[in-house]
Amino acid sequence: MYAIPLGDDGAELRPLETWHAEEFLAHLDRGREFITRHIPFGTKATDVDSARQLLQSYADRRAADSGFLHGLWLDGKLVGGLLFRVFDAATGLCEIGCWLEPAGTGRGLVTRGARVLIDWAFDERGMHRVEWHASSANTPSVNAARRLGMMREGVLRESFPYRGARQDTEVWAVLAPEWRAAREARARAAQKDH
């Protein structure tokens, strides 16, 4: 399968597939408490079979063109991932999300990988709107949406019950014309720096 380099630091974006089940489980086990602080992603993957089932559910969604799962590797080690939790080509709407174990934080992996996937969603798949949903308490996730140039559209107050408390969910989004204009501005700024 393909691997997309995300810079000179050994970071790569690759599809996360069912045959990665053992590696995926080891990754979740390393970062389980950190990963699940704000989101339940991976909580049901507690052994190789359940990890494979989670990966298979996304393989099925990919086959149905309704969701995608990609891993973030650093120096050959799975440290996190990005997913299109919602992908609706008919309406031009998708929702991207992420997770990381502690070893993957502070390196810009989510921003770099999300830019690749958002470019693909807008340029190749004709999406019009990419959303990012995050618990208001999940500052790193909110900051990632901000770094991606998304606009905070609102807060769904106490919309998500998790770990015995109701969480506020922030909805961030970027539209295709906004994304393209920001990408062109980044490219112009990079040319000026050289």
pLDDT at residue 193 tops 80: no
Top CATH class of 4-193 equals alpha beta
SS3 call for 88: strand
Which pTM does this prediction carry? 0.93
* Distance from C-alpha of 51 to C-alpha of 69, rounded to nearest angstrom: 13
pLDDT digits (tens, 9 = 90+) for 85-104: 999 999 999 999 999 999 99
pLDDT at residue 12 tops 80: yes
* Distance from C-alpha of 18 to C-alpha of 145, rounded to nearest angstrom: 28
Average pLDDT, integer, range 43-56:
96
* Distance from C-alpha of 16 to C-alpha of 69, rounded to nearest angstrom: 6
